[in-house]
Amino acid sequence: MYPDRRQVEQLYGSLLEKLGWGEKHLTLFTTNYDPIPDEIMKVAKRTGLGCCDGFKDMGEWDASLYGGDAGIDIYRLHGSMSWVKRNGEIINTRDYSLRRGSTEHLLIYPGYKGNPEEGGEEAFALPHRMLRKSLLTADRLVGIGCSFRDPHINRILHDSAETYRKLNVFANLIVDHLEGFR
């Protein structure tokens, strides 16, 4: 089931406006696998703002699309239900229906203990590198609905907080998963 565009606008529109959407370039990192980022992209395009998630219109991964004149860059840290592998390449089908057979969803599931930056797919590695890079200069991080269960992302956040003290973190926290951040 796809989210209703109006609901996405209602839920995220005012927050994105407060963050300067439309006035300055924004970078959004998400661990969600769902279509919400795609709906945000549709809202952006409908309102005349550029938006990039690293995939061309036909679904091919192209990291060079990031950082252009887009109003918002979206990085999917855990992949997406709409990502599949075809002929050795990651493709974003923008189709969230469950697949059966030889097609596999490309996701980093909760409990994953690896490092996507090491020897993995560029579509997974780049978002993590960009998160690390962005946190070195960002003045705020807004966490919405994040459980902070990914040890690699937690390490990136911890290292950034240690080296860059100007970063303000705003999040609804589940304290059990934040050992080392107190």
Residue 176 has pLDDT above 70, yes or no: no
Choose the weakest-confidence range: 48-62, 144-158, 160-174: 160-174
Question: For the segment 63-84, what is each residue's pLDDT rounded down to a tens digit?
Answer: 999 987 668 899 999 888 888 8
Q: What is the pLDDT of residue 77?
A: 92
Residue 104 has pLDDT above 90, yes or no: no
Q: How far apart are CA 10 and CA 116, in angstroms?
A: 33
Amino acid present at 147: S
CA count, 13 A, side-chain hemisphere, 34: 9
CA dist list (Å): 24 to 48, 50, 123, 142 = 13, 11, 25, 17
Average pLDDT for 143-172: 82
- Mapped to the 3 state alphabet, what secondary structure does 53-118 carry? CCECCCCEECHHHCCCCCCEEEEECCEECCEEEECCEEEECCCCCCCCCCCCCEECCCCCCCCCCC
Q: How far apart are CA 74 and CA 31, in angstroms?
A: 11
Q: What is the pLDDT of residue 54?
A: 95
Q: What angle do CA 121, 36, 100 make, to 5 degrees?
A: 60
Residue 130 has pLDDT above 90, yes or no: yes
- Residue keyed to tokens 């997406």: 80
Angle formed by the axes of helices 122-135 and 151-163, nearest 10°: 30
| Average pLDDT in the chain | 80
Question: For the segment 8-59, what is each residue's pLDDT rounded down to a tens digit?
Answer: 778 777 777 877 788 888 898 998 888 888 888 888 888 888 889 999 988 9
Residue 127 has pLDDT above 90, yes or no: yes
Residues 56-90, buried b or exposed e (16+ Cβ, 10 A)?
eeebebeeeebeeebbbbbbbbbbbbbbbeeeeeb
Q: What is the pTM of this model?
A: 0.83
